[in-house]
Structure 1
Amino acid sequence: MFNNSSKILFITVMIIGTLITVTSNSWLGAWMGLEINLLSFIPLLSDNNNLTSTESSLKYFLTQALASTVLLFSVILLMLKNNFNNEVNESFTSMMIMSSLLLKSGAAPFHFWFPNMMEGLNWMNSLLLMTWQKIAPLMLISYLNIKELLLISVILSVIVGAIGGLNQTSLRKLMSFSSINHLGWMLSSLMISESIWLVYFLFYSFLSFILTFMFNIFKLFHLNQLFSWFINSKILKFTLFMNFLSLGGLPPFLGFLPKWLVIQQLTSCNQYFLLTAMMMSTLITLFFYLRICYSAFMLNYFENNWMMTLNMNNFNMNLYLILTFFSIFGLILISLFFFML
């Protein structure tokens, strides 16, 4: 639908919209940045050759428009209270603002649109939706920090993300429920400090990029493709599933490091109930990741009589192997680095 220069322009405007939201000193300015981000992201989603992407872009627009309407209405109520001293319940207004931001980020219990929409997108748009599009809402949530609502959202997000991914065969839905689960961890890190949230978000974005990079190259969308596609390349098959386990947070992989930091901080804050719920949900997530890995490694599959050519150039292969090396051995390298210091 658009050429590469148009897509670069939309991505640039999307980044500018996020930066406007993050650097704004008023709720109205933050709302304007969110709208700029929304209107530049929707053209990236739509594709004339794919009807499901057009449907997903419409779902995204309607959901984000609803959240933006609630946000703007709540901001107007706050302005009326500050300017005219009206008797507006400020805590209720703040909860409305936070609910609209949770809806924008796709956190439970406002997650209903996220998995179905992800199912219709390509992998690059899915990566943007799972990573970059969460920056602005999460930063605004950190300004409010209503702990009661945040606590409910964290518990529901980790539970929905864990249970929702149990019986999924679609890789995009599996990644979407994994994103909801990780979003619960990110919201809990926001309750502690923004620096821990930033570390967690960077590590999550890095691990998600590795997986979506591979899925996009080989056009993989379902689990049965994983089992049959990499028969002639055992190294790619092994490293891909190791990245799955790293994303799930299994030690000694890199994905365990941000969860380790959050667990340590929650323990120091005596948040034992929240920590128990999050740990149990992570065990469920690791269960279906390990089940997939066990099926891939331990079971025999009929090999094809013809050789399947893997359309991957040397640059992509080297980039993937370098990123995978840090994903698998990153925790060990970081631990050795701090031990040497």
Structure 2
Amino acid sequence: MTADSVGGVWTFALQLASELGRRGVEVTLLVMGGKPSADQAAEAGALKNVSLLGTDFRLEWMSEPEADLQLSGELLLELEAEQRPDIVHLNGYGHAALPFSAPVLVTAHSDVSSWWHACRRTPLPVEWSLYEERVRAGVEAADMVVAPTAAYFREFGSHHGAPRAHRIIANGRDPAAFAGAAKRAMALGAGRLWDEAKNIGTLRKAAEGISWPILIAGETTSPDGSTLATPANVVCLGRLPSQDIAARMAEAAVFASPARYEPFGLAILEAALSGCALVLGDIPTLRELWDDAALFVDPDDADALRDTMEALLFDPERAELLGQSARRRARRYSAARMVEAYLDLYRTLAEARPHRFRPTLPLRASA
């Protein structure tokens, strides 16, 4: 299995690998985009079924990735030849076009083309043409493409074409890792302050004039070294370890994510499992997942976001009821359900090429 060390793909891969381990599946996890942090390495090290390989290879959406994509592709083929996995599970696109022997499953988490359409609302610049060619080639070559929501799959396909086969499998988290506590009259958001997709800028604007504290977990310094001003009632927590974010979610009455682009939203799921009332951007993917279990606002309407958050913080009973509704919905998106869906898919793909595998061995995934 492949993963990167930044953002939700890491969380997805570790959660899936953990659940696979409980079912006797071994996972080799090749991480690109930067070596895992000490916390991440410790998290992976606690999983006895996971062999972690961390690299600094650039990801396909990064600047000038061609040489690194060549090297990481060679490494993937060497690993497959050495370990003979039953499945190659890629959490990226271009490597799916490599001549693997095992069936190749691609999980589509995000892509530049749909991100640009949602956030910039202009055609993707020509300098991204090679990226789009790599993604399309991977989609055409993959035996199966999985997306976490039907809405995102449709958007993804409109940019990169239809795969030969696909399934919708919602991401999942272990409910045991998240527990509600006595709620405080405060709202929590998560994302880098400059992130156009998470749209934390609108949350910062909406915080102006609210009487309650607004906490934001995420990096505060942009890649160019600049920082953004925030209202006095906004507390920037910086990048937090997963257990610290869970602790903040446990006590926050409201979780706000006015996203312009969110193919799934693991932080939203975690907040729901923690009993937070959800205030979300009104986009198709989040409607698909949380309709009737959250309040929705136009991602560009800071006034509507402010009014919605303030109304919930002023009325804790209503916030509690909405948090209970979110928690009930979140139970649909459990890690156990996710792994059972992936295991079924792994078996289906492996059985389609039974001559390539040794049936006497336990199922193994090279991911």
Task: Verify same fold: TM over 0.5.
Answer: no
Structure ranking higher on relative contact order (CA contacts 8 Å, 6+ apart):
2
- TM-score (normalizing by structure 1): 0.24
Higher helix share: 1
Which one has a larger percent strand, Structure 1 or Structure 2? 2
TM value normalised by structure 2: 0.23
